[in-house]
Structure formats: C-alpha cells, structure tokens
Chains A and B, each alone.
Chain A
Amino acid sequence: MSGIALLAPDPTILARRDAIVAGLRAIVPGEGVIVSEDERRAFESDALTAYRRVPMVVVLPSTTEQVAEVLAFCSREGVPVIPRGAGTSLAGGALPQEDAVVLGVAKMSKVLDVDLANRTVRVQTGVTNLGVSAAIAHEGFFYAPDPSSQLACTIAGNVAMNSGGAHCLKYGVTTNNLLGVTFVTLKGEIVEIGGDALDAPGLDMLGLICGSEGQFGVVTEATLRILPLAEGARPILFGFPSPEAAGACVAAVLGAGIVPVAIEYMDKLAIDICEDFAKAGYPRDVGAMLIVEVEGSAAEIDEQLARIGAIAEAHGATYARQAKTLAEAAAIWKGRKSAFGAMGRVSDYICMDGTIPTGKLPEVLTRIGEICEAQGLKVANIFHAGDGNLHPLVLYDMNDPVSLAKAERAGEDILLACVEAGGCLTGEHGVGIEKRDLMTAQFTRIELMQQMRVKSVFDPAWLLNPAKVFPLENRIAKAAA
C-alpha cells in the first residue's frame, strides 16, 4: 500500500510459531504472552499509522530477568525482536514484522527510587515520561525532556530515540539527562551502564545506547537526572506579519544573549487549527506566531520579557500577549501541546522532523511551501524554533494511496532540503523506517558502514529491529549467529 519496503517474513520462523510461543510462555507466565490475533493487532503499528504489520507474538515481561531470558531465547532461535514502549514513535521505530516477537516494557512501569539530595530518580523504563515528573512534582522537582507525547510515551522509547521536547533549548534532550541504564543484550546478559554519578567510566556507552533506536539491546531501567522547578515560568505570545519576521526575531533573541527555556513557532494554518481545537486565544490575523517562555522569579521574568518584547517589536511583532495567570500560561501551552492531536481531527498528516541551522529558517520555510504546493498538499508548520527543529505537518488522505504517495514524496523533499541547508533528517523522532532510505543523503557509504559495524557488535545476526535505520540495500553482511 505504501512506498517503504519492509522485510519479507521468514517462513522457517513462521513455521515454528507454536514452539516459539511455548518457549516464551515458559519464561513469562500468563497474560504476559499475547497470542490471539485480536490482541496482537493492538501492536500492529506505532504513530506512523500508514504502516502496519501484525507481529507473530507479543511478550510483556515483568522483570529484567525475564527480558534477559526472552532475548537469549530469541537469539538462540534466530527470531527478530522489536522492542516497544508505548508505540508513539512517529518514525515507525516500533513497527513490528510478521515473523517477530514484540517485546514490550509496558508492565515494567514503576518509579523505583527518588533521591532528591542527589537529584536522581531510578525508574523501570515502561513508566511514562510524564509519570516521572508527576512522581516528584510535589517535591518541587521535574524531569526536563518533555516530548509533546509525554502523557503516553515511555522512558524506554525516549532513551531509544533520544527524544526531545519544547524545553530542551535550555535543558537538553534525553541523552543530557540520563545517568545510567540497565541494558540487556541479545545474549541475555544484564549490563549496568553508568549509575547515579555524573559521569560513567570507560567509553561513553551510555551516549551510544541513547538514540540507538532499539537496535542494540533492551533498556529495562534508567537513572534520570532531575531538576528543581523554577520559581516561576511565564510564556509570552507574539504575532508577526510573516514567517520571515518571526524567524529573524528568533535569531535576534539568541544573538542578544538571551536563552529562553523554549521558543516555539507556529504558522497561520497551524494557528487556525489549534485555535479551533484548544481555544487558546491565539491571534488569527497574523502570518506566524512565537511562544517564548522564560523562567525565574517574578522580577526576573519581567526583566527578561521586557528585553524580548523590545526585540520582537523591533522585528515587527503586531501582537503580544503575556500570560498573567497560571491558567493563561496553561492555555498558551495547551494550544501548542495539543497541536498534533488538533491536526489529527481535521486531516491525516505526516509529521516531519528535520533540523536546520536557524539562520536558514526563512529560505527553508519558503522551500517547504513550494514543495507541498507542487504536490498539491497543504502544510502546517510547527517547530522548536530556538534549535531549528522543524515539524512541518503534511496533510493528506490516508484512504487515498495517491495522496499518501504524494505526502511521502513531499516529506522526503522537505528532509532533503533540510540536509541541503546544513541540517539533518531528524532532530528528535528518529530514523525508524520512515527516514531509513534517506540516510544515504546525509551519510556517505563509509559512514553508514561504520554505524552498521557498531550495530553488528551488539547484534551480529541483526535480529533487533532489523528493518530500521539503514537502507535495506548495501547492508553489512550479517555475522554468522
């Protein structure tokens, strides 16, 4: 039905299905092994819903030891494994295949330890991102990376994708807030990497594993760095006559030595759709909008916002609204955080995720407009402007294969434009299957080979998430398993 090639299932594995299920049942009792087709169907895709494959079997272990036994078993049996958190990947990172075991960490979702003096928490990785902050908010702390999907997505997925969020301009992404993991290798070895100190010994294995898209092993526990909540935070909303004016304002704010916690951009179409949905009070008569958030005491916030306001005015802002109450602040963010949901109500869309040098914003935005127009599609632009991470939402009709093909084509062209502008294919969603075939546009053959060698060290037989990240052609030879 769609453009991205997937691996054909291995009939010799399918033929052994009953034995494989029995083997898994011997490790994980009861409802931890999901066999019926109806129930397996719940795992057939992630948030890249245009692609679906019902997995052979789903296993949801409750302990790290069970995960280790499952992996050792699959490794012995030569069965592919698709690690899974909440299945919110937008890149098809958690997309199953018919001959694979989906290994989910959903049943391992406890917060194991909160250590406020050392500012760390230890969690099982099936906990949701928001669940971490929720467990410590009453103590005045939070976990900084805040993907818009934070209600649903898990720390497992965040670590695998090195996820970011609106506030990472100041606080960094997952890798900058991760101190240690319990990592299970395909052979079933349980390896502690890092810990609760600020740095880990040896080569930076933690840095390598974070962002490895479930291709190296399964992460079952994590130690996260937490931070004290700011005294206060306040967003301000600016409207500009044009995208260019908004882009120039972003560069000027950063150039002036001010680094807000977040700078979010929305274009006209995005504003309209979000406003219809969230009634956040966004201005409808502007060409683009920025949400800028700063933190500190009330006086500090006033001072920073005054500086930022002056810069925005100098760049032609025609609208400015500061949140005066917590409720107003929440409303401003509600519109932005519900953007993807709001968009989903009016149309199917694919959400792109390229990053560009912020100086190239105006020209890349123009280019995105042209690309989508050429395919006859509409595009809404939402992005983390401070760090140049674009999220163009290309609207299409899922029931129309021609429309999907056009959307995928436009998406590809947009990402290639990002690479050409000096940026990259993905800023936070990961490569998955979605951007897999574009990897040759960003990396040379030599570079891809080295990355594949790294995968082969962890997974010589390429059983973990095998269809992802690297184009199916020209792959490194599998080592004999």
Chain B
Amino acid sequence: MIRDDHMETVSPFDEAGIEATIREAAEAGTPIVVRGAGSRSGLGRPVQAAITLSTERLTGVTLLEPSELVVSAKAGTTVAEVEAELARVGQRLAFEPLDHRALYGTTAEPTVGGLVATNASGPRRVIAGAARDALIGVRLTTGRAETIRSGGRVMKNVTGYDLVKFACGSHGVLGVVTEATFKTLPIAETEATLVLEGLDDAHGVAALCAGMGTPFEVSGAAHLPALNGAPSRTCLRLENFESQVAYRAGQLAARLKGFGTASRLDAEASRTLWREIGAAASLLGAPERAVWRVSVAPTRGPGVVARLGPLAEAHIYDWSGGLIWVATSAEGDAGASTLRPIVREARGHATLMRAPDAVRAAVDVFEPEAPALARLTAGLRASFDPAGVLNLGRMHAR
C-alpha cells in the first residue's frame, strides 16, 4: 500500500488493502471518496472526504476467452487497455462505453471501475444495452470492508440476487468495485451512417423512431439540431458485415423516404461522428455551460425541449430521442427548478452532469426519489455501508 500524506490518497495494490483502508475508515468514521482515474470526477455531488481511495494500482486483464465472449479486468485497468486486448481477438465490449473526458475536460484514461460505477453507456445503448446489461460479474468491497462476488463469468446466471446490476451505476456508495467481468461481442466488420438533413426536432425524432422500428438493427440514432447556420442532422448508424450494411442502408433509406433523402457516411466518417455524439460536449457549446442529461420516452423529448424554451442554450438527442443532452447557463441552480418539473411531467428524469461544485452541492444532481423509494435506497445503502463512509453525499444529500 502506498500512502501519500499530502494528497491523503491511498492506492492499495490488492483487495486486502482496499478492505483494510475501508475497515479503518469505517471504524473511525472517516469519509472516503473512491476514485479510479478521475476522468469523471465532475459527476455527482461533490464529496467531502478525508481520504481518497484509489483503484489505480489494481490493474490487469484477468480473463479473456473469445470463444466464450467474456473478458474480466481489475478495476484500475484502463478501458483503453481492455478494448485493445479485445481488439486483438476481433472483439469489443458488448455495450459502447461512454467517455466523459470531453465533458469534464479531463485527460486521465478512464478505468473499468469508473465505467462500472457510473454505468456510462454510449450511443449503442439503443440496441445493445447499457454497461449494466453487459456486466456479468463483479467483485465489490463493501463499506463493511468485506469483498463479495456477484454473478460470475457465465452469460446466464440467476443464482442469488442480482447485485451485479445493483453495483453498476451505484457511484461508489455501496462499495468499491475491484474487478468486473463483461460480455463481449465480435467487432462489426463495418459501419455506415445515414444522415437526413434539415428536420426539426419532432420530425427528427420521428425519423429515429421509425428507423428503430425497422428490422435493420440501427445501432445509433441521434438528432443534432441546426447549429451555427449548418442544417440539423438526423443520424442512423448501421453496423454489420459489409454486405449486410450495404443492403440495410438501401432498405432503411427507402423506409425513411418520407423524411427526405438520406446521404450516407462511410465507416471512417461514421466512426468520427459517433465519437462526437457519444461525448456530446463539443455539440453543446462553451465549457462554462451546465449540462443536463434528460431521460424520457423518445417521442416526448421534443415537447420537453420546446417547453424549456430559451433555458436550453443547446441540446442534442441520442438514443432515438430518449436521451437529451441539454446545455443551460451554470448560473443559479443551472435551471433545475424549471427543468425538473417539465421533465417529470413528461414522465422522465434528469441528471445534472456538469456544473460548478457549488451548484452541484446545492441542487439535486440525480432525480430526487419518491419517499417510499428513498427509504428503500437509504436502507439498502446502509446495509452495504452501515458507517456511511463511502462517497457520502455523492448521489443524494445526506
């Protein structure tokens, strides 16, 4: 274990070290903030902690079995390393990881632990599911300083409760993910994107929904409104074997004829575009702006944006319209008091993804929960971390 007294950062080499750090902190009631590489450290409410517990020294791909479509890695392994190892055998993670660096202006390579803790899922979510769907096993050192396993290395497993899903997206409030096992898939032979230009939000999202309703396995569906004089773009991605992509692009364009004539981006241009859409940041204007992530049933998205009016300084739709990235002014409550009721009326929810610390400390970053649900959440959290020392306040105010 290496201890850096100035930074108050502890970076254990193994689970035993993680357990020891948590045990000590829990006994003393010392709050801990859990950290991977810190590439997403602007996500969630700011945590006041005396100790930073880093997973950066828990590294390595521990299992790679291409014929079983499975990969395991310790928490501090970079996502890039996992992806590179998989690429060597022609595979990739079964979901599309979302890289938050552009949003937060960070540079450190994102780690597996952070990816799991934030359930960070990119455009392919619409067809392939989120990180939580591809995650089939975890090791988690809980706030009790106990390491538990859930799931495993097999694709189908309903043995015991699904703590794999529960750990995924838990932002470190239940425990420290020390190792994760994911389902993998072959890398698609090629990809292409159909682009319709000039549609307004409602027609753009309608086109995306129409595309998702076809059998052509659209694997990315985003609408990018007009920006700086350039027309809006409605984008539908196809990934598959070369011949399939060619055939499906033709069929899909024909089905979408009512929305206009689609142009086609080849593999290279398509990859660049979807990297930009996934990262979202560059499409949302100045880095000083606050950024919200609104989840709603796709067809209700344009109505939400219309009601936000000038509050939405910029916005884009991903996930067929079901995920709206909205940029607002970071002043005041970053628009929370206006935005939240509008989103709730559309039966959606909103997360304040980027805002100055003071704003994220003052407003609910995650959607506030109904009382009965909040009680369950609090009870469950306490069952994993009775001393309440892990990432205290990151998800909900204490």
Contact = CB atoms under 8 A, between A and B. Distances in A.
A442 B160 contact: yes
Contacts of A299: 243, 247
B373 A193 contact: yes
Contacts of A347: none
Interface string B157-196: 1111111111011100110000000000111000000000
Nearest to A359: B68
A428 B156 CA distance: 7
Given A204-B165, A207-B166, A254-B68, A199 B130 contact: yes
Contact of A207 (B165, B348, B370, B381): B165
Interface stretch (B227-235, B296-304, B331-339): B296-304
A447 B158 contact: no
B69 A254 contact: yes
A211 interface: yes
A435 B157 CA distance: 13
A117 B213 contact: yes
Interface stretch (B73-81, B142-150, B355-363): B142-150
A63 interface: no
A358 B162 contact: no
Given A198-B295, A207-B166, A185 B154 contact: no
Nearest to B130: A199
Contacts of A423: 152, 154, 157
A2 to B, nearest CB: 22
A168 B159 CA distance: 17
B154 A356 contact: yes
Contacts of B150: 447
B72 to A, nearest CB: 11
B307 interface: no
A401 interface: no
B347 to A, nearest CB: 5
A355 B154 contact: yes
Interface string A356-386: 1111000000000000000000000000101
A293 B323 CA distance: 33
Nearest to A299: B247
Contacts of A199: 119, 121, 130, 295
B158 A211 contact: yes
Nearest to A254: B67
Contact of B154 (A190, A303, A387): A387
Contacts of A154: none
Given A198-B322, A387-B154, A469-B160, A297 B214 contact: no
Given A202-B366, A203-B170, A254-B69, A195 B347 contact: yes
Nearest to A196: B297
Interface stretch (A75-83, A225-233, A332-340): A225-233
B379 interface: yes
Interface residues of B, number: 83
Interface in A192-215: 192-193, 195-208, 210-212
B129 interface: yes
A205 B377 CA distance: 8
B380 interface: yes
Interface residues of A, number: 93
Contacts of A197: 295-297, 322, 347-349
Interface string B41-66: 00000000000000000000000011
A454 B67 contact: no
A446 B148 contact: yes
B206 A359 contact: no
A168 to B, nearest CB: 7
Given A189-B372, A208-B166, A300-B244, A228 B213 contact: yes
Contacts of A198: 125-126, 130, 295, 319, 322-323
Interface in B281-299: 295-299
Nearest to B294: A197
Contacts of A356: 154
Interface stretch (A27-35, A98-106, A255-263, A312-320): A255-263
B369 to A, nearest CB: 6
Interface of A: 115-120, 140-141, 161-162, 164, 168-169, 172-173, 175-176, 185, 189-193, 195-208, 210-212, 228-231, 251-252, 254-255, 257-259, 296-297, 299-300, 303, 355-359, 384, 386-389, 422-431, 435, 439, 442-444, 446-448, 450-451, 453-458, 469
